[in-house]
Structure 1
Amino acid sequence: MAHLVLTVVGDDRAGLVRALADTVAVHGGNWERSELAELAGAFAGIVLVTVPDDAAAGLVTALQALDGMLRVTTHTGTHVADAAASRTFSFTVLGNDRPGIVREVTSAIAANALSIDSFTSRTLEAPMAGGTLFEAEVSVRVPADADLAPLVTELERIAGEIQVDLTLA
């Protein structure tokens, strides 16, 4: 089976996910995992599908035919993480929105040579405070034998410096 990672983007409208799902299904593919969202009038996402090796090229061609509705870029998956050799470390960040929060947090992760499994963020109104809050939920892939103390120390330092709440899971 071929693992294909699809990145999709288009103007938001009804039927986009159905058109993508129909195309995958017609080629014998299986929709395994996705993150899809409407963002500022655009629909964007990433989807992992598996498809029989002999149907992969046909699926890629069919996905390109969706252009005009969705622009789909196809990437061939090359590595499946060994879950036994790693663990997941999760945390949330919540505080007043300001430029640079994502840069600061992701710099700490990269400085510790770790990989982000998922990063979900949003801004929301803070009616009691009269401003906008930034919230992020982050999961990081950590080698089973890695020491998390340096990352936790750096995240706590950043949280204090940029005045956000950090919650370790």
Structure 2
Amino acid sequence: MSDAPIEPQDYIYGVNVVQIEDLRVARGLTRRPACACRHKKLVYDDKERRVWCSDCEAEVEPFDAFLGLVEVFSAGTNRINRRAAELAEAEKFQIRSRAAKVMDEAWRSTKMAPLCPHCNNALLPEDVVGGLASMSKEFVMADRKRKASPKPK
């Protein structure tokens, strides 16, 4: 829009004609009334250097078209940033202990299965999917110590 001031025009014949658009601009409003169309389907015409909406076939101001593009790209950027934050949070909860990493590496083998260090039975991933029984570490250490010590005769 032009920044030139609005000049009243005097007509030779009778009544002065006042443009409603000029009154709206004088009050600080826009020349174009608000439209119900959100102008989602914009057509950019390079030859005529204009932007118009293919839904309502109204001409769209370049700033409004630019604002629509910025909103789309901003939403896409926010979606990518949110996905990156979700991935970073998921990476925090990956397996950290060395024993779990060793077991995971052993289970990835296609031809071999890891063996239990005590009973030498094969351990398959299906064996631990439903959960594992647990026992106090103190009890296990005491039991191992008792088995390792020589028995009196």
TM-score interval, smaller chain: under 0.3
Quick check: which one's helix share is greater?
Answer: 2
Between 1 and 2, higher relative CO (CA 8 Å, sep ≥ 6) is seen in: 1
Q: Which has the higher strand share?
A: 1
State the TM-score, normalizing by the size of structure 2: 0.16
